[in-house]
Structure 1
Amino acid sequence: MTDRTLHLPVAAQPSVESLVDLARLGEDCGYERAWLPETWGRDAVTVLTRIAAETDEIGIGPSIANVYSRSPALLAQTAVTLQEVADGRLRMGIGPSGPAVVEGWHGIDFDRPLRRTREYLDVMRAAMSGETLNYDGQIFSLAGFRLRCDPPEEPVPIDAAGMGPKSVELAGRFADGWHATVFTPEGLEERLDDLRRGIDLGDRDPDEVRTTLSLTACALEDGERARELCRQHLAFYVGAMGTYYRESLARQGYEEEANAIAAAWASGDQEKALDLIPEALLDDLGAAGTPERAREELRKFEEIDGLDAIAVGFPRGASPAEVEETIEALAPDR
Structure 2
Amino acid sequence: MRIGITLTDSRGPDALTRLRDELADAAANGMQSAWLSNIFGLDALTALAVAGSQVPGIEVGTAVVPTFPRHPVTLAQQALTTALAVSGRLTLGIGLSHRIVIEDMLGYSFDRPLRHLSDYLDALLPLLDGEPVDVRRETVRAVAGLTTPRVGRVPVLVAALGPKMLRLAGARVDGTVLWMTGVSTVRDHVMPTLQTAASEAGRPPARVVAMLPVAVTDDTEAARERAAREFEVYGTLPSYRAMLDREGVTGPADIALIGDEKSVRARIEEFGDAGVTDFVAAAFSGPDAARTRALLGELATAA
Query: Fold conserved (TM > 0.5)?
Result: yes
Tell me, which stretches of 5 or more residues in structure 1 are unaligned?
259-276
Q: TM-score, normalised by structure 1?
A: 0.82
Q: Distance in 2 between matches of 1:228 and 1:11?
A: 22
SS at match of 1:68: coil
> Bigger shift: 166-175 or 97-106?
97-106
Cα distance in 2 for partners of 1:113, 1:21 equals: 37
Structure 2 letter corresponding to 1:300:
E
Scaled by the length of structure 2, what TM-score is found?
A: 0.89
SS of 2:121's equivalent in the other structure is helix
Q: Which residue of 2 aligns with 1:245?
A: 240
Per the alignment, do residues 46 and 17 of structure 1 end up closer, same or farther by CA in structure 2, a change over 3 Å counting? Answer: same
- The offset of 1:248, in angstroms, is 2.2
Matches within 5 A, 1:225-244: 225-239=222-236, 242-244=237-239
- Does residue 1:178 correspond to 2:147, yes or no? no
Distance in structure 1 (CA, Å) of the matches to 2:18 and 2:82: 20
Matches within 5 A, 1:273-288: 282=254, 285-288=255-258
Partner letter of residue 33 of structure 1? S
Map 1:192-203 → 2, pairs under 5 A: 192-203=191-202
Q: Do the aligned partners of 1:92 and 1:157 also contact (CA within 8 Å) in 2?
A: yes
* Count of aligned positions: 298
Deviation at 1:302? 2.4
Contact 2:181 2:240 in 1 (8 A): no
Q: Which of residues 167, 172, 178 is equivalent to 2:165?
A: 167
Counterpart residue identity of residue 216, structure 1: P
Separation (CA, whole Å) in 2 of partners of 1:133 and 1:158: 18
Alignment equivalent of 2:279, drawn from 310, 317, 326: 310
Question: What's the Cα RMSD here?
Answer: 2.3
Contact residue 219 and residue 330 of structure 1 kept, 8 A: no
Measure how far apart 1:10 and its partner are: 5.7
Equivalent residue letter for 2:245 = A
- Asked if the contact 1:218–1:227 (Cα under 8 Å) also holds between the matched residues in 2, the reply is no
Instruction: Write out aligned runs for 1:1-334 (5 A).
Output: 2-9=1-8, 15-143=15-143, 145-150=144-149, 152-189=150-187, 190-206=189-205, 209-220=206-217, 222-239=219-236, 242-254=237-249, 257=250, 282=254, 285-304=255-274, 306-315=275-284, 318=285, 323=289, 325-331=291-297, 332-333=300-301
Aligned to 1:271: none
2:83 aligned partner, one-letter code: Q
- Cα distance in 2 for partners of 1:225, 1:51 equals 33
**In 2, distance between residues paired with 1:174 and 1:116?**
14
Q: Quote the Cα distance in structure 2 between the aligned partners of 1:119 and 1:166.
A: 14
State the percentage of identical aligned residues: 26
Residues 223 and 253 (structure 1), Cα distance of their counterparts in 2 relative to 1, 3 Å cut = closer
Unaligned runs of 5+ in 2: none
Displacement of 1:312 in angstroms is 1.0
Question: What residue in structure 2 maps to residue 268 of structure 1?
Answer: none
In the other structure, the counterpart of 1:265 is none
